Amino acid sequence: MIDRPEDPRERGRRQGSAPREIVAAYLRDLRSIGYASSTIAGRTLHLRTFTRWTALRAIDCWTSVDEPALEQYRAWVVDASRGRDGRLAWSTIHSRLSALRLVCAWALRTHRAGQDPSVSWVLPRVPRRLPRAVLSSVEVEKVLSRADLTTPLGLRDRAVMELMYSTGIRRGEAIGLDCGDLQAHRRALFVREGKGGKDRVVPIGDRALAWVDRYVREVRSSTPGRLACPALFLSTRGTRVRPTRLTERLHAYVIGANLGKSGSCHIFRHTMATLMHDRGADIRDLQELLGHAELATTQIYTHVSVERLRAVHSRTHPAEIGLRGGVAGE
């Protein structure tokens, strides 16, 4: 089959499309090649900011999205939230600019643009931050005990927290679980389309299994609408739990425990990884458990893990050895 050259008139029409149309076509292309829904949702959110920005400035043709326009947008993104809640986090700025850069490259590749105006962009460096809060094993129990087991929602929340603490799965992964994803006979959990659209199987402990089983028998089995929704964890209306609502409830439990620490869903993931590393878990095993694509992402837990460093310090530091030998300083 001989490839025919593209009609210049068709190419001109495509390059004359509005930014909103280019972005919409890009997102449709991502869906058609199987990108994860969470990835598409994130890029949609960031690119919506760009299309609104172009609309307010009457930029109604993609050919007007040139280097000067992109530089104006970059400066606007950096300064967008000054005077309200402070500057946007560098990670958010990076995500917004990175999403637009991907569109520009795609538009050139698909002949919707004659050039890529973002090719010279240098994206801001995103600092690798340590988890804000990690709980001790005693503190975890205090948080878990805050759930009111006399109420359906309290029992559900306890089951969710036990499962997240046992497996280290993310909020979206917990909400996305269906009943069939829990493989109790294998003591395993099938995580469908985790971050990056990758499936994985993670082990789940007996204690978490017992709490989830209790929730299913005592609460889910009588929740209205349960037959129409395959989700493992249901709202009171029988629908899949909303992410923001779960965050609010788990945050309330952490604050209510009066630990002087803040957090919600992700604190269980950070705590699990840190405590397991403290007790000798290999960093590569943790990488697989957590579903990290890069080992560098998992290595933040080597910095948070204090217990192992404290033991090495006590065992090898000359001053500590001297104290154990009865040498007292003056």
Q: Which residue among 26, 73, 253, 301 is the active-site one?
A: 301
Q: Which residue among 96, 112, 156, 269 is the active-site one?
A: 269
Q: Which residue among 94, 195, 226, 240 is the active-site one?
A: 195
Q: Is 170 a catalytic residue?
A: yes
Q: Which residue among 112, 170, 220, 277 is the active-site one?
A: 170
Q: Is 240 a catalytic residue?
A: no
Report yes or no: 77 and 86 within 8 Å, Cβ to Cβ: no
The H-or-E segment that residue 255 falls in is helix 243-256
Sign of the CA dihedral with 199 first, then 205, 207, and 209 last: positive
Type of residue numbered 312: V
The angle subtended at Cα 279 by Cα 172 and Cα 260, nearest 5°, is 60
Q: Is 195 a catalytic residue?
A: yes
Report yes or no: 284 and 293 within 8 Å, Cβ to Cβ: no
Q: Is 292 a catalytic residue?
A: yes
Q: Is 13 a catalytic residue?
A: no
Sequence-distant (6+) residues with CB within 8 A of 264 are 171, 246, 247, 248, 250, 251, 254
DSSP assignment of 119-172: TT--PPPPP-PPPS----HHHHHHHHTTS-TTSHHHHHHHHHHHHHHHH---HH
Would you tell me how many other CB atoms lie within 10 Å of the CB of residue 309?
12
Would you tell me how many other CB atoms lie within 10 Å of the CB of residue 306?
12
Q: Point out the residues that are catalytic.
A: 170, 195, 266, 269, 292, 301
